[in-house]
Structure 1
Amino acid sequence: MVESNSHSTTASDERNAMQTLLSYIESQRYENLPQSVIVAAKTFILDSIGVGISGSRHENLPLVKAAVNNWGAGKQAQVWATGEWLPASSAATINGYQIHNQEWDCVHEEAVVHPMATILSALMAYGQQHNVSGQKLILGVVVAVDVATLIGASATSGLKFFRPSVCGCLGATAGICAMLGITGSKLANALGIAYSQISGTMQSHLEGSPMLAMQIAFNAKNAIQAADLARQGFSGPKDILEGPFGYFTLFEDGFDLTQFYQKLGYQYQIEQISHKPFPTGRAGHGVVDALQVLQTDYEFTPDQIEQVTVEVTPLIYRLVARPIKEGMDVSYAKLCIGYIGATALLKGSVDVDDFAKTCLHDPNRLRLGAKFQTQVNDIIDPNALAPISVTVQLSDGQTFSHSLPAILGHPHRPLSKAAQLQKFRAACHSAHIPMKDDEIDKLINRIDELPAINNINDLVQMMMPSSRSGSGD
């Protein structure tokens, strides 16, 4: 591990990280993307659109929309699921919030970055404004994910700032530039301007505050505003990664750029993303995964349980080991291992309806959740989200355990195509205005045809019930 203002020596040290990053962004072309990368991009565009449509159901969304409506009017891009026309930056704000507000969006585990929330909300809003093609959108997403995750994965210290939003903003800005062919000084300026705006800390996560998803939203907006300023010729700082006050000095306590140099342009990170099968923090997924296996194998019932012991990495402990308690709100419960685990035991899984107020006050969940104990395992990596193990002790003394080196949804244990589509359909059905089956089928097919779409506005019109697609209501 190399701390703060230094990194491992490689042949690439003749050029700094920022020069390497700029060259990579400028060199990428859709025609050169491997087919597997294009498939992965479509897969996670589908996934992110689904959870973003579902996010229109969130109870805080009217508050967000009311605030955003004070920021100005315009018809540049649309809000997913409901169809309102807004300035691109405002649409990206709302759509970014919708993608992340239920903790159901995909994650790059090594980087601890939810890349698509900030990235896709920004790229689709800006792309809708500028009538970009499906191929350009795919290129932008692939580049953006590489930038966001390889910067994030270079950190060797634990999270202080909210890496999904701060790295997501840099990635989204890079993706917009790749999508629109912005190069040279304007590209460098765009990234510098984005860096000057990036924001988000772990305090919202610690408190279970709904501001967590708004940090994603703000940074989607910031990426668009950075691109707009740079395109007009405004200048930003240049040495934003390794400079004395660059990202790695200010936002992380330690970093190592070895993997950054080895993977950028050589291993596309869109293929390294994990699906989230359940609408909770990824740190809680292993508990659901393991309990499903144990209940299937041993057929015990929740009322037989004396105690559940969960051994987790330091990061998981930090993120979701909070105690279950009466009066929890949704944001707290989604990051509470006792509530997540109790729900899985009582229902066999966890879905969006499990965070209704009636469920949060359910005495059976509260009682069962109090039987969970969380311990730290011997993993040293402060950013590791696996392995975990779960041990269930029954009141008659029987004990059952299950260990997971990788959690369901990880590239080493990927969701099947059928499971991906099942999640997408469930997400679209759960929207504020539920989509019909035929509308969902058409949207699935349209995303699969994305490389052939000349203008992504054609796709956006299908992301809401037909009665709302162009209404502006």
Structure 2
Amino acid sequence: MDAIIPFADHVVSRSYVDFSTEAITAAKTFLLDALGVGISGVHGQWGDELSETIPLWGSGNDSRVLGRGTRHPCAISALANAFQIHNSEFDCVHEGAVVHPMASIVGAVLAVIDREGGVSGQRLIEAIVLGADVSCGIGVASNSPLRFFRPGTAGGFGATAAVAKLLGFDKETLLNSFGTLYGQTCGTMQSHEEGSMLLALQIGFNTRNAVVSCDLAARGLVAPRNVLEGRFGFFNLFEGEYDIAPVISSLGHSWRIEEVSHKPFPTGRATQGAIEAAIRLKQKHSFDVENIQTVYTHVTPLTARLVGRPMVPGMAPNYARLCLQYSVARALLQGALEPGDFRTEVLDNQSVYKLAQRVNVIVEPNDDPNALGPSCVQLLMRDGQKLGMAIDDMPGSPSNPLTRDQHLNKFRKNLGLAPGAVSENAAERVIALVDNLEHVQDARALLDLLCPV
């Protein structure tokens, strides 16, 4: 029996009453986080270009796009929403799965909610929790280094599960949706390697495909069944070594949404342990950066592979967000790292570039091919002093979570990155709405507040 079958059983049979209080809280927390970063993505890299392009792909008034209010066919709005949520590398992540679950799930469900109407807050929570179980469960099962962009590939399965739950699919229709999604699954790591904006678009493509797959399955399309473990299934073709049995046995007993991590910094998650270490060093020792002779950042093999690239002149913002040298140098210089540090006009700062050349990436052995931590930053000062800081639990992780104030401050700051898109009053109403989501009768109220008229 292919593992997609117990996933389908799980999605179809579970409901709001089965979830832990922690899972419900996490679903609401990361929904709000995704809405905030999605609004910030309105003016993120390549946001306007995508907005100008998507009308070429068809006209329709099904669904709005976050922060823009433009209306498009549902699948196209899902693509745009997902892209905006991820295009600034500020959305949450499941570290063990190496998946950004909310970009694809929220991108898809917002578009479907807008098209369908009358979707309650409880049903939205169900879609988020169960979608995360699918995408993160698939990611956790892999024992192989990334070959394909898992936030896009596994993310598409999670988005499909979420949309199917919203639409009330039975098991057979959901299996046909999964099979159709698999036939469209895409996303290589080459975009990550080169720091291309196609990286976030790959999440968007798979999110669009999730909506398309559910719409086709709803009309009776019969698709392949052995999509995870078949001879040419996802694990054999896209991943490699895997162990799905523990994931399947955990379904209904634990909820992957509880394992998701906030991102306190607008960078690839793999950089964030070292960024936090650099900031803590700056706070603790108040050194002059001119006295730094050499910086050693000790990281896992996956971190080195994902973000060990050199800082180079003329970097694009998306390259810089995945550059450990740049992020650590910035953090050491100013004791913080903010979205504004990735504007094109500030990336060639010579003080940052000079310090970044002294940042060395040291790979430490780790048996887990998906491990992003621990991280350690060591400074060798010109006066002979040695300073160091290790981070075992990255900030924002379940073991080191953001406070509610930090979470809400991030949301409000993200809305401020898209001036005029959302009023201050609307922002506070969105917070209240999400806090009480289980009592909301029509979740389109979120879009009414977050999309300009």
TM-score normalised to the size of structure 2? 0.98
Aligned-pair CA distance for 1:358: 2.1
Q: 1:415-458 CA deviation, whole Å, 9 max, x = no partner?
A: 11111011111100011535333221111111112111111111
Cα distance in 2 for partners of 1:435, 1:174 equals 30
Match in the other structure for 2:265: 278
Partners of 1:446 and 1:463 in 2: CA distance? 12
Q: Which runs of 5+ in 2 are unaligned?
A: none
How far is the alpha carbon of 1:134 from its aligned partner? Answer: 1.1
- The question of 1:84 aligning with 2:78 is answered no
In 1, the alpha carbon distance for the partners of 2:366 and 2:286 equals: 31
Q: Is the CA contact 1:314–1:376 (under 8 Å) kept in the aligned structure 2?
A: yes
**1:73-92 deviations in whole A, cap 9, x for unaligned?**
11111111111111111111
Give the equivalent residue in structure 1 for 2:132: 145
Deviations 1:295-338 (A, max 9, x none): 12222122221111001000000011111111111111111111
CA deviation map 1:39-64 (0-9, x unaligned): 11000000000000000012412221
Pick from 32, 37, 59: which aligns with 1:51? 37
- Aligned equivalents of 1:436, 1:180: Cα separation in 2: 32
- What's the counterpart of residue 12 of structure 2? 26
Identity %: 39
Indicate the residue corresponding to 2:51 in structure 1.
Answer: 65
Larger displacement relative to structure 2 (222-231 or 357-366) = 357-366
Q: Say whether residues 1:333 and 2:320 are aligned partners.
A: yes
Q: Helix, strand or coil for the counterpart of 1:251?
A: helix
Q: Which digits, 9 at most, give the CA deviation of each residue in 1:205-257, with x for residues without a partner? A: 00001100000111110000000000010111111111111111101121012
Write the deviation string for residues 344-396 of structure 1: whole angstroms up to 9, x where unpaired: 12222111111112211111111111110001012121110111111011111
Matched, 1:400 2:390: no
Q: Is the 8 A contact 1:93 1:220 kept in 2?
A: yes
Structure 1 equivalent of residue 144 of structure 2: 157
Alignment coverage as a number of residue pairs? 452
Which among 253, 260, 284 is matched to residue 266 of structure 1? Answer: 253
* 1:418-429 mapped onto 2 (5 Å cutoff): 418-429=405-416
Q: Which of the residues 350, 367, 370 maps onto 1:380?
A: 367
2:332 counterpart of 1:345: yes
Q: SS of the counterpart of 2:103?
A: helix
Confirm whether residue 322 of structure 1 aligns to residue 322 of structure 2. Answer: no
- 1:51·1:424 contact (CA, 8 Å) conserved in 2? yes
Asked whether the 8 Å contact 2:295–2:378 carries over to 1, the reply is yes
1:113-132 to 2 correspondence within 5 Å? 113-131=99-117, 132=119
How far apart in 2 are the matches of 1:154 and 1:276?
23
| Aligned equivalents of 2:36, 2:426: Cα separation in 1 | 12
Give the whole-Å Cα distance in 1 for the aligned partners of 2:423 and 2:238: 44
Mapped to 1, the partners of 2:296 and 2:12 lie a distance apart of: 50
TM-superposed CA distance for 1:19, in Å, is 2.2
Q: Which residue of 1 aligns with 2:297?
A: 310
Residue 11 (structure 1) aligns with: none
Q: Note the aligned Cα RMSD (angstroms).
A: 1.2
| TM-score scaled by length of structure 1 | 0.94
- 2:209 is aligned to 222
Amino acid at match of 1:193: T
Show structure 1 runs of 5+ residues with no match.
1-14
